[in-house]
């Protein structure tokens, strides 16, 4: 069987120049989130299949890379269906593994617990630009905090990180609440069993527009409910006044304090914020994960059509493991999408350190090499980055490659000149 050089479809090899940028961004993310008190943790890439198929991951549960049972557990003669073949899968996000992690280790964690996770996740998706089957997610979550402080801190921390990562790029935070979405659908007369289908159609607003949504909602459950539902969106602005304007119509369909709570989050973030971004109420924001129970948010950035970050509150997930509901809220940065934006823009790391390459001719005297290494060590002690490497035959090509990695200074050592 011949070996294959190309990476598996939907996954990619990362060349040094991109890896430098990825490491640079991860350092910014860790430093920024660390300044808010978030603590780094790590969970396994593999999860129990029962957890992954718990009907909390929305459409992502259709994209799981499932893992065969091994050894004695794999008894082919007893196979009746797919579930008899698998007992684990690769995680499709970092939230479900965090809920299991917290449930298993809660006694050893602070309360509330502020978690930072950076790791690869896997989805058997259709690959396209900025979308892969293996990709990195950067999540922050606050577990055990029921108040709006969780949402406020998550938005402030994430917008701070994005401002540091993509300086000069304008971005906008859209915010909504699943309870508002539910109340609006109930007000229009939709049955609870059908509301998930209403959300699926509403979530297409960016792609098919209001006319497309109206057409599909009418086909779903008639024109009367559709008209009553969409009337709630007419003339609705994107500020806190718009949120409170829904109070009278949604009375009896939404619990007290939800609308006021969303306004408190928005007002506080805008008052405290020190970064340049927009924060708007978007009543059409749905987010596809089935585990969201309250506030939801997404971030869009100029130069990219999709969202670059998103999250929300999921107060019921941990209770599925422990039997006791635990307040939980998280925000995830779309790391790969941001990398795509920066690479397309020709992003260069703003590094103050000098990057110097020492290139020496082969067969150089051993004592001379020691002197070269001593000089390199001295420059490193002064805060510079110094590469020592043997000179290639095609020196021009070698230097061009090093320039792509950010090296701006070169010093060459030849046998003849050093005699």
- Binding site residues for L-histidine, as ranges? 93-95, 123, 137, 141, 287, 291-292
Tracing tokens 């000179």 back to the chain, one arrives at 391
Q: Which residues line the annotated binding site?
A: 93-95, 123, 137, 141, 287, 291-292
Helices 149-165 and 335-344: crossing angle, nearest 10°? 30
Q: Say how many Å lie between the first and final Cα of the chain, rounded.
A: 53
SS3 string, the chain, reads CCCCCCCCCCCCCCCHHHHHHHHHHHHHHHHHHHHCCCEECCCCCEEEHHHHCCCCCHHHHHHCCEEECCHHHCCHHHCCCHHHCEEEEECCCCHHHHHHHHHHHHHHCCCCEEEEEEEEEECCCCCECCECCEEEEEEEEEECCCCCHHHHHHHHHHHHHHHHHCCCCCEEEEEEEHHHHHHHHHHCCCCHHHHHHHHHHHCCHHHHHHHHHHHHHHHHHCHHHHHHHHHCCCCCCCCHHHHHHCHHHHECCECCCHHHHHHHHHHHHHHHCCCCCEEEECCCCCCCCCCCCCEEEEEEECCCCCEEEEEEECCCHHHHHHCCCCCEEEEEECHHHHHHHHHHCCCCCCCCCCEEEEEECCCCCHHHHHHHHHHHHHHHHCCCEEEEEECCCCHHHHHHHHHHCCCCEEEEECCHHHC
Q: CB–CB of 64/92 below 8 Å?
A: yes
Residue 372 to residue 352: CA distance in whole angstroms: 23
Q: CB–CB of 340/347 below 8 Å?
A: no
Q: CB–CB of 162/290 below 8 Å?
A: no
């Amino acid at each position: 069987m011949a070996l294959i050089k190309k990476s598996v479809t939907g996954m990619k090899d990362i060349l040094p120049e991109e890896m430098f940028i990825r490491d640079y961004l991860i350092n910014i993310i860790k430093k920024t989130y660390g300044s808010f008190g978030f603590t780094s943790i790590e969970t396994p890439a593999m999860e129990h299949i029962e957890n992954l198929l718990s009907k909390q991951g929305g459409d992502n549960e259709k994209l799981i890379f499932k893992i065969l049972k091994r050894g004695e557990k794999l008894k082919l003669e007893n196979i009746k269906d797919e579930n008899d073949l698998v007992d684990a899968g690769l995680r499709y996000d970092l939230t479900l593994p965090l809920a299991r992690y917290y449930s298993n280790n809660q006694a050893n964690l602070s309360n509330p617990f502020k978690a930072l996770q950076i790791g690869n996740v896997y989805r058997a998706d259709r690959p396209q630009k900025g979308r892969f089957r293996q990709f990195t997610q950067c999540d922050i979550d606050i577990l055990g905090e029921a108040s709006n402080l969780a949402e406020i801190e998550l938005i402030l921390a994430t917008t701070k990180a994005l401002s540091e990562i993509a300086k000069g790029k304008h971005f906008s935070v859209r915010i909504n609440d699943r309870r508002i979405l539910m109340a609006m659908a109930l007000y229009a007369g939709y049955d609870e069993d059908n509301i998930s289908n209403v959300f699926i159609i509403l979530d297409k607003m960016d792609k098919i527009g209001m006319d497309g949504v109206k057409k599909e909602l009418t086909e779903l459950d008639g024109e009367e409910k559709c008209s009553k539902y969409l009337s709630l969106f007419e003339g609705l602005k994107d500020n806190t006044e718009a949120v409170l304007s829904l109070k009278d119509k949604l009375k009896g369909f939404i619990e007290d304090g939800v609308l006021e709570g969303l306004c408190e989050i928005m007002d506080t973030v805008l008052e405290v914020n020190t970064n340049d971004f927009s924060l708007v109420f978007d009543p059409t924001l749905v987010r596809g994960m089935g585990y969201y129970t309250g506030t939801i948010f997404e971030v869009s950035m100029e130069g990219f059509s999709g969202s670059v970050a998103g999250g929300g509150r999921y107060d019921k997930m941990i209770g599925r493991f422990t039997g006791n509901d635990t307040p939980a809220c998280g925000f995830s940065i779309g790391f790969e999408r941001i990398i795509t934006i920066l690479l397309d823009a020709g992003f260069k790391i703003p590094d103050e350190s000098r990057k110097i390459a020492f290139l020496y001719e082969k067969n150089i005297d051993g004592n001379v090499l020691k002197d070269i290494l001593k000089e390199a060590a001295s420059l490193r002690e002064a805060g510079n980055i110094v590469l020592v490497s043997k000179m290639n035959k095609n020196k021009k090509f070698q230097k061009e490659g090093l320039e792509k990695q950010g090296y701006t200074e070169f010093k060459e050592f030849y046998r003849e000149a050093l005699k």
